[in-house]
Structure 1
Amino acid sequence: MTRSTAHATAEAHRTAVLDEAHTGDIHGALGTIRLDDTAPRTGPTAKLRTLLAIIGPGLIVMVGDNDAGAFATYGQAGQDYGTHLLWTLLLLIPVLYVNQEMVLRLGVVTGVGHARLILERFGKFWGAFSVIDLFLLNALTLVTEFIGITLAAGYLGLPRTAAVVLAAGVIIASAFTGSFRRFERVAITLCAASLLLVPIYFMVHPATSQMARDFVVPTMPGGTGQLSTVMLLIIGIVGTTVAPWQLFFQQSYVIDKRITPRFMRYEKADLWIGIAVVVVGAAAMMGFTAAAFAGTHGSGNFTDASGIAHGLAVRAGHLPGVLFAIALLDASIIGAFAVSLSTAYAIGDTLGLKHSLHRQVGGAKGFYAVYAGLVAAAAAIVLIPGSPLGLLTEGVQTLAGVLLPSASVFLLLLCNDKAVLGPWVNGPKTNAFTSAVVAVLVMLSVILTAAVLFPDITASTILDIMAACGIIGVLAAGYALTRRRTGSKEDPVDRTGRDTWRMPPLETLTRPAMSTGYKIGMGALRTYLLIAMILAVVKIVEVALGH
């Protein structure tokens, strides 16, 4: 046994880290960090090399979220409302960072995936619910990725069946090499290709001054008559940018990459790089789509991403249309990578399967079977003649609206669990901001679910839902503040030694205490989720039978 292997084995026994596959040297796409390399990073060259080795999780999870669904959502915003909704991206930046930073913290500190933590800390019901719902949502999301592949292939003049089969083969083969580094190199190459959106922006020449103003000044285009439509599109932008699968993916991926707390600041930099890429790409899409359709019959009449490519070709020539189709194909493949991998990680966590890209196929058969099975099933569904693809897209929206509140609530609770995060738990300011974000996400979830179930929902109904959620939020905040003032003061968190602190094995931790407020809140959440799921399934079945 080598020194590095012995060190890794000892580390796995001292902490909750799953097994030897999740400890050891970091083999990143752009560099390596040995487990026994504990030297301080003092010079700019050493810091840059470390950052290059760490880059991956934050970049992939963010760019993976600019997938086929995002192309359609941002494209619709630009084609129907110009650049008037750019401000939503600015507001989403802190939301993206806070959510993913908390997941990042959970990953590097605990060494245990998101699904496993929910199962162990909140019980079998919530563990099973989170994984089953994630599985259904991700399966449908994968179908939308392959829809994006067919749209891109159709514009480029490629055979539909061959394009889908080839893409599925690339997605599966890239993960089946038994090498984490090879997979990450493919993924980061695809992330770099997403920057094709930038030259399209300069070819189309949208009004930069107008974009700058709309980025910082919130407006609601269309007047009161279109308030409900605009509100639902804004919710769609939030939903496509803050997706439940991101939480499960990033936590497991940083564990699989073997990143530890001492590299936290480098991983945060990786996350900021990913956020910058996703916001620049989204803004570019809104901008060049708005410019391409301004003053044309297509303005306000969005169809699909293929329609955007045709509009770009008419406005600026053949090359921008081709580049957009290639970017759509690239984004769909990245999205499929991330979504299917998050599912395989979550199921491996819950069922106790060996799950790591460091393992050969024979050493993690269940993990790779889930990954490949999801990709193959999604590709097959898209190729079936007469498949209700529009209905599947609607199902994605509905399930995303149902799952997002529970995912956000569990994330906040886990990041306040001292047994889990020790000196890494949230501070008061982070909790205040995150609680507000969770409250807004829950409100948007309720509105989105209501809108999908009741397509004729009016603007006044949406405002009523917002008002009701606001009142409930204020009451909940007042209750929490009162409890905090009247309750016994907690000792301040000792944050010394954070760089070396890891969560102990899960079986040694005491279960979290359940206060009355906690029980009421979790009961209300469970009731909402069950009712929303039942209504969603009934609605989808009704639509299917109607077709």
Structure 2
Amino acid sequence: MADDATQPVPALRTLWNRLKQHPLSRLGPGLITGVADDDPSGIATYSQAGAQFGLNMLWTMPLAFPLMAAVQSMCARIGRVTGKGLAANIKEAFPPFVLQGVVLLLLVANTLNIAADVAAMGEVAELVTGVSRYRMTAVFVFGTLILQVFVPYHRYVFFLKWLTISLLAYAAVLFIVHVPWGQVIARTVWPHLTFDSSAAAMVTGVFGTTISPYLFFWQASEEVEDMHATHADALLTGNAPAAAKELRRIRWDTWSGMLYSDLAAYFIILATAVTLHVAGVTDITTAAQAASALRPLAGDFAYILFALGILGVGMIGVPVLAGSAAYALSETMGWKEGLERKANDARGFYGVIAVSVLAGFAIQYSPVSPMKALFWSAVINGVVAVPLMVVIIVLVSTKRVMGVYTAGRTLVFLGWLATAIMGAAAIRMFMPG
């Protein structure tokens, strides 16, 4: 009888060991960064793109993929080669006002983005469970805080990687609804689109939520975290074999992670285009509204898949938003930072995480609408992203910073192309007509 009672323990231990040995568990920061890119506020933007413009916004994702992958690859390269996060490198290479302005805007934008994300998660959870959105929001907020503050990074990241599977929900939705694949391919390559201020605003929103400043800081800092977690603390300078291997890993990790993110965003636009747009539903303001609007059009199963995807990526997106802000401010102020450190050893770092998440939570009870918060977050990200990408390209091209491991011409070209496209779209958005 005693043997029977103890049988589940070895079984659970075996399952745990198998999960730890799974190839997914060995992937680096690129996967989590990619999924965090499709956070609930991003899902709302992609849903609105599909609902408002139908298939004619699908082209943005093939174009965005090499651009987002190039920028994230540069950030990862900076972190791994220098052994320092993005803010620490900016601090050394640029005047103080550059870093101070960027970090201040990042903190504000991330807090507003967290507010929009946790609001969306609460609304979706209420739709699925019937429990008050405010109670569910509190559960998510304090759950993510406890994980970040009290669980070491190498354990916490294990769970985040398995949560990335939630993005597959958006591909699954397409097996339930009718998809005119011939039109999909045609509109992806050649959209029927008048590039007026409305379309420009949507393109800016799509690119702004796809190539976001908080992801830049997170990617660089998590390369440093991974470097310490795997005991590969030595910098790459002077170790050519190790450097070649690490840079190959970074390329594979960031490009595959961004491809996963980009495909998921493409599927979200496609799913809402062939359901909501076709049905005449062209105004989506929240991810939860997109999920609920799918229900009468695509059925309960599609609705549940869409909703669960929002909750899964939200559990990744909120920690990444809070964590990137904490890394940026801690490196700026010279505080100890890192998710591997205990709370007592990095009080400022964990304090930023707690304040930003709780501030986002508090906005739910203020006169500020979460969607207004999302709007201002997008505006600030649009302001910050373009000059910040210029800074990143300068850093990754400077031998004083990178030594012999400066970025190649192709990577730099893609970085400048991303900067030019985002800058042009932002300018066009504010032009009349």
Separation of aligned partners in 2, 1:383 and 1:335: 21
Is 1:305 the counterpart of 2:302? The answer is no
Amino acid at match of 1:254: E
Structure 1 residues 428 and 292: alpha-carbon distance in aligned structure 2, compared to 1, 3 A threshold: closer
Separation of aligned partners in 1, 2:192 and 2:199: 7
For structure 1, the residue ranges without an aligned partner over 5 or more in a row are 1-28, 33-48, 451-456, 460-547
Q: Which residue of the partner structure matches residue 230 of structure 1?
A: 199
Is 1:418 the counterpart of 2:399? The answer is yes
Separation of aligned partners in 1, 2:55 and 2:83: 42
Is 1:240 the counterpart of 2:209? The answer is yes
Partner SS for 1:176? helix
8 Å Cα contact 2:213-2:384 kept in structure 1: yes
Q: Which residue of the partner structure matches residue 158 of structure 2?
A: 185
Q: Which residue of the partner structure matches residue 319 of structure 1?
A: 301
Separation of aligned partners in 2, 1:432 and 1:194: 30
Separation of aligned partners in 2, 1:432 and 1:346: 26
Separation of aligned partners in 2, 1:444 and 1:228: 9
For structure 2, the residue ranges without an aligned partner over 5 or more in a row are 1-17, 237-242
8 Å Cα contact 1:340-1:375 kept in structure 2: yes
Is 1:96 the counterpart of 2:85? The answer is no
Is 1:458 the counterpart of 2:427? The answer is no
What pairs up with 1:129-168 in 2 under 5 angstroms? 129-156=101-128, 157-168=130-141
More helix by share: 2
Is 1:436 the counterpart of 2:417? The answer is yes
TM-score between both structures, scaled by the size of structure 2: 0.87
Is 1:265 the counterpart of 2:237? The answer is no
Separation of aligned partners in 2, 1:205 and 1:174: 40
Q: 2:218 aligns with which of 237, 249, 269?
A: 249
Partner SS for 2:55? coil
8 Å Cα contact 1:115-1:130 kept in structure 2: no
1:132-187 superposed Cα distances (whole Å, 9 cap, x missing partner): 11111111111111121132123222211210110011211111234122110121
Structure 1 residues 53 and 237: alpha-carbon distance in aligned structure 2, compared to 1, 3 A threshold: same
Task: Give the alignment's Cα RMSD to 1 decimal.
Answer: 2.2
TM-score between both structures, scaled by the size of structure 1: 0.70
Amino acid at match of 1:198: A
1:185-235 superposed Cα distances (whole Å, 9 cap, x missing partner): 1211221122121211211232222222222x13243x47xx221121111
Amino acid at match of 2:75: V
Q: Which residue of the partner structure matches residue 46 of structure 1?
A: none
Of 134-143 and 306-315, deviating more is: 306-315
Max radius of gyration: which structure?
Answer: 1
Q: Which residue of the partner structure matches residue 445 of structure 1?
A: 426
Is 1:77 the counterpart of 2:49? The answer is yes
Q: 2:176 aligns with which of 191, 196, 203?
A: 203
8 Å Cα contact 1:56-1:184 kept in structure 2: no
Is 1:194 the counterpart of 2:167? The answer is yes
Of 439-448 and 74-83, deviating more is: 439-448
Aligned length: 402
Separation of aligned partners in 1, 2:134 and 2:411: 48
Separation of aligned partners in 1, 2:320 and 2:177: 30
Structure 1 segments, 4+ long, off by >6 Å, are none
Separation of aligned partners in 1, 2:277 and 2:305: 20
Separation of aligned partners in 2, 1:315 and 1:388: 28
Q: 1:62 aligns with which of 19, 23, 34?
A: 34
Amino acid at match of 1:422: G
Q: Which residue of the partner structure matches residue 381 of structure 1?
A: 363
Structure 1 residues 178 and 72: alpha-carbon distance in aligned structure 2, compared to 1, 3 A threshold: closer
1:494-523 superposed Cα distances (whole Å, 9 cap, x missing partner): xxxxxxxxxxxxxxxxxxxxxxxxxxxxxx
